[in-house]
A = this chain, B = another copy of it.
Amino acid sequence: MFIDKSSKELYEEYKDIAQKAADLYYASAVLGWDQEVFMPPKGFPYRGRQLATLASLAHEMMTSESYGNVLEELSGRNDLSENEAANIRLSLEDFEKKKKLSSSFVNKLTQQVSSSYDAWIKSRKENSYKVYEPELTKMIELKLQQADMYGYEGNSYDALLDEYEKGATVAMLDPVFEQVKNELPSLLEQISNAEQVDDAFMNLFYAKDKQWDFSIDVLKKIGYDFDAGRQDISEHPFTTSFAPEDVRVTTRVSEHDFASLLWSSIHEGGHALYEQGLPSEQYGLPLGEAASLAVHESQSRLWENNVGRGIHFWQHFYPVLKGYFSEQLNDVTLDGFYKGMNKVQPSLIRTESDELTYHFHVLIRYEIEKALLNKELQPKDLASAWNSQYEKYLNITPPDDKQGVLQDVHWAHGSFGYFPTYSLGSFYAAQYYEQAKKELSGLESQLSAGEYGKLLTWLRGKIHVHGRKYRSNELCKSITGEGLSFSAFMKYAQEKYSFIYNLD
Kindly list chain B residues whose C-beta atoms are within 8 Å of the C-beta of A227: 40-42
Kindly list chain B residues whose C-beta atoms are within 8 Å of the C-beta of A19: 49
Asked if B30 and A242 make an inter-chain contact with CB atoms under 8 angstroms apart, the answer reads: no
Asked if B243 and A40 make an inter-chain contact with CB atoms under 8 angstroms apart, the answer reads: no
The residue in A31, A50, A230, A243 that gathers the most chain B C-beta atoms within 10 A of its C-beta is A50
Q: With contacts A27-B54, A40-B229, A40-B246 known, what are 16 further pairs, Cβ within 8 A?
A: A19-B49, A20-B53, A23-B50, A24-B54, A24-B57, A27-B28, A27-B53, A30-B30, A30-B50, A42-B245, A43-B243, A43-B245, A43-B246, A46-B242, A47-B242, A57-B57
Please encode chain A, from 144 to 158, with 1 for each CB lying within 8 Å of some chain B CB and 0 for all others.
Answer: 000000000000000
Sorted nearest first, the 6 A-B pairs with minimum C-beta distance are A46-B243, A43-B246, A23-B53, A42-B245, A42-B228, A23-B50
Please encode chain A, from 30 to 41, with 1 for each CB lying within 8 Å of some chain B CB and 0 for all others.
Answer: 110010001111
Kindly list chain B residues whose C-beta atoms are within 8 Å of the C-beta of A53: 20, 23-24, 27
Give Cα distance in the complex from A43 to B20, angstroms.
17
Tell me whether A246 and B42 are in contact in the complex, defined as CB-CB below 8 angstroms, given that A30-B31, A31-B27, A54-B27 are known contacts.
yes
Give Cα distance in the complex from A41 to B38, angstroms.
20
Closest B residue to A35 by CB, please name it.
B30
Asked if A46 and B230 make an inter-chain contact with CB atoms under 8 angstroms apart, the answer reads: no
Asked if A230 and B40 make an inter-chain contact with CB atoms under 8 angstroms apart, the answer reads: yes
Please encode chain A, from 216 to 230, with 1 for each CB lying within 8 Å of some chain B CB and 0 for all others.
Answer: 000000000111111
Kindly list chain B residues whose C-beta atoms are within 8 Å of the C-beta of A39: 246
Asked if A49 and B34 make an inter-chain contact with CB atoms under 8 angstroms apart, the answer reads: no
Give Cα distance in the complex from A27 to B57, angstroms.
13
Give Cα distance in the complex from A138 to B39, angstroms.
41
Closest B residue to A37 by CB, please name it.
B38
Number of A positions contacting B (CB below 8 A): 36
A contact residues vs B (CB 8 Å cutoff): 19-20, 23-24, 26-28, 30-31, 34, 38-43, 45-47, 49-50, 52-54, 57, 225-230, 242-243, 245-246, 283
Chain B's nearest CB lies how many Å from the CB of A390? 40
A selection of 20 A-B contacts at a CB cut-off of 8 Å is: A23-B49, A23-B50, A24-B54, A24-B57, A26-B46, A26-B50, A27-B27, A30-B30, A30-B50, A38-B230, A40-B227, A40-B228, A40-B230, A40-B245, A42-B225, A43-B243, A43-B245, A43-B246, A46-B245, A57-B57
Tell me whether A246 and B46 are in contact in the complex, defined as CB-CB below 8 angstroms, given that A27-B54, A41-B227 are known contacts.
yes
Kindly list chain B residues whose C-beta atoms are within 8 Å of the C-beta of A230: 38, 40
Give Cα distance in the complex from A39 to B27, angstroms.
13
Chain B's nearest CB lies how many Å from the CB of A28? 8
Give Cα distance in the complex from A27 to B53, angstroms.
10
Kindly list chain B residues whose C-beta atoms are within 8 Å of the C-beta of A49: 19, 23
Kindly list chain B residues whose C-beta atoms are within 8 Å of the C-beta of A54: 23-24, 27
Chain B's nearest CB lies how many Å from the CB of A49? 6
Give Cα distance in the complex from A283 to B45, angstroms.
12
Kindly list chain B residues whose C-beta atoms are within 8 Å of the C-beta of A30: 30-31, 34, 50
Chain B's nearest CB lies how many Å from the CB of A146? 27
Give Cα distance in the complex from A242 to B39, angstroms.
10
Asked if A43 and B283 make an inter-chain contact with CB atoms under 8 angstroms apart, the answer reads: no
Chain B's nearest CB lies how many Å from the CB of A44? 9
Closest B residue to A50 by CB, please name it.
B23
Asked if B46 and A283 make an inter-chain contact with CB atoms under 8 angstroms apart, the answer reads: yes
B23, B38, B228: the one within 8 Å of A43 (CB): B228
Give Cα distance in the complex from A336 to B39, angstroms.
40
Chain B's nearest CB lies how many Å from the CB of A21? 9
Give Cα distance in the complex from A26 to B53, angstroms.
11
Closest B residue to A33 by CB, please name it.
B34
Chain B's nearest CB lies how many Å from the CB of A400? 32
Kindly list chain B residues whose C-beta atoms are within 8 Å of the C-beta of A229: 40
Kindly list chain B residues whose C-beta atoms are within 8 Å of the C-beta of A50: 23, 26-27, 30, 242-243
Chain B's nearest CB lies how many Å from the CB of A67? 15
Chain B's nearest CB lies how many Å from the CB of A445? 32
Closest B residue to A54 by CB, please name it.
B27
Chain B's nearest CB lies how many Å from the CB of A239? 14
Chain B's nearest CB lies how many Å from the CB of A278? 12
